[in-house]
Amino acid sequence: MKTKSCTSPVFACAGLTACALSLWAGLAPAQDVKEAEERFKKGLNLVDEGDCKNAVIEFEESYKLYPTTVVLYNLALCYDDLHKYAKAMKYYRQYVEEAQKDPSKKGVAAVQERIGKLEKYLGTLAVTCNVKDAAVSVDDEEIGTAPLENVYVETGDHTVTLEKEGFQTFSKKIKVVSGKTVSVDATLLIVEKEPEGQVPVVGTGEEKPDRKTLKPVIFWCMLGVTIGLGGGAAAVGALNLVNHNKFKDTPYDDRDKWKDLKDKGEIYNAVFLALIGATGAAAVTTVTLAFFTNFKKREKKMEEDNDLELPEETASLSFAPLEGGGMLVLTVPVAF
């Protein structure tokens, strides 16, 4: 069933349409005037059908094409009928402000009386900000720029948002009560720009500590120990193999030599197993240290050393018999 609750008050102003449109014709482009007139009339037809919700869409489009007090008045009445009192208050006050410039306008007193009644149903919002002209929105609908005072807001829960380019968005939830003012003091923080070519780090903004803090010398020393233990295990293993072959070739009748080789074999086995275990543990430790060693420091030092021109001295490889006993002297090439 269609309602006509918003029809009468709007039609009370419909008589001014012809006058308003005549002003449009003189001050606005012909195409805009024609479309504004069509939308205004469509809005009136929707009001006549009791559809104020869609009527405000037509009135708002008409007002964008060319603003007049007639459209403002009808917008206010429609929002009033929809019980959106904050919007109605906005357009009522705007109508009064414009109408007072023209002494011939009538009905201003009645509108001011309605404004006084609506004030009792609404709360007000005051917004201050450390950044001037930040855009202020209530429930994603922009209402102006900071600072703001005495902005009428519907009662209930709302979200106030402030935004400005180059600053982080500020958001705060508020609860509005009729007859009370809610104050929001916003602080917008500057967005730090990342250097060109650097990928911004997404997260909390806290710098991650570098886990690789050990000096390379510790890693290399441990690697040397691992290699040394491995070499020792290999040497003991070789000795044990030689001893084992001698043990197999020794007849059991030669009890003293057989027992001596057997005892040596047991010692070699024990030492070999101990060295193998130590080598394994050292290898695991070396691999673990690799994850915590900062090799970049060493690379940087090597790059610096490469920039230095150092004299090179090399030694040749030679074999020379000694006078006393036929020993060889080995000289290895070394670069200093």
Q: What is the pLDDT of residues 135-164, one digit of tens each?
A: 999 999 999 999 999 899 999 999 999 999
Using a pLDDT cut of 70, give the percent of the chain over it.
74
Q: Residue 319 in 3-state DSSP?
A: coil
CA dist 328 to 317, 323, 334, Å? 11, 10, 19
Higher pLDDT, 326 or 244: 244
Q: Cα separation of 19 and 13, whole Å?
A: 11
Q: What residues form DSSP beta bridges with 172?
A: 160
Confidence of residue 4 (pLDDT cuts 50, 70, 90): very low
Confidence of residue 298 (pLDDT cuts 50, 70, 90): low
Q: Cα separation of 91 and 69, whole Å?
A: 9
Peptide bond into 147 cis (omega under 30): yes
Confidence of residue 114 (pLDDT cuts 50, 70, 90): very high
| Whole-number pLDDT of residue 103 | 72
Judging by DSSP bridges, how do beta strands 141-145 and 170-176 pair with one another? unpaired
Q: Which residues of 6-45 are buried (b: 16+ CB within 10 A; e: fewer)?
A: bbebbeebbebbeebbeebeeebeeeebebbbebbebbbe
Using a pLDDT cut of 90, give the percent of the chain over it.
41
| Whole-number pLDDT of residue 142 | 92
Q: Which two tokens stand for residue 120?
A: 């009792």
Judging by DSSP bridges, how do beta strands 141-145 and 148-153 pair with one another? unpaired
Largest Cα span, the chain: 143
Confidence of residue 190 (pLDDT cuts 50, 70, 90): very high
Q: Is the pLDDT reported for residue 52 higher than 80?
A: yes
The answer to whether the beta carbons of residues 82 and 52 sit under 8 Å apart is: yes
Q: Residue 18 in 3-state DSSP?
A: helix
Q: Is the pLDDT reported for residue 189 higher than 80?
A: yes
| Whole-number pLDDT of residue 306 | 59
How confident is the model over 125-134, as pLDDT tens digits? 999 999 999 9
Tell me which DSSP letter residue 153 carries.
E
| Whole-number pLDDT of residue 148 | 93
Q: Is the pLDDT reported for residue 33 higher than 90?
A: no
Q: Cα separation of 17 and 40, whole Å?
A: 9
Q: What residues form DSSP beta bridges with 152?
A: 124
The answer to whether the beta carbons of residues 77 and 6 sit under 8 Å apart is: yes
Specify the DSSP element, H or E, that contains 135: strand 135-138
Residue 285 dihedral angles phi and psi, to the nearest 5°: -65, -40
Higher pLDDT, 103 or 13: 103
| Residue 308, number of CB atoms within 10 A of its CB | 6
| Whole-number pLDDT of residue 128 | 96
How confident is the model over 266-296, as pLDDT tens digits? 898 899 899 899 899 989 898 888 888 877 7
Residue 272 half-sphere exposure toward CB, CA atoms < 13 A: 14
| Whole-number pLDDT of residue 304 | 56
Q: Cα separation of 220 and 215, whole Å?
A: 9
Residue 203 half-sphere exposure toward CB, CA atoms < 13 A: 7
Pick from 66, 124, 62, 140: which is nearest to 90 by CA?
Answer: 124
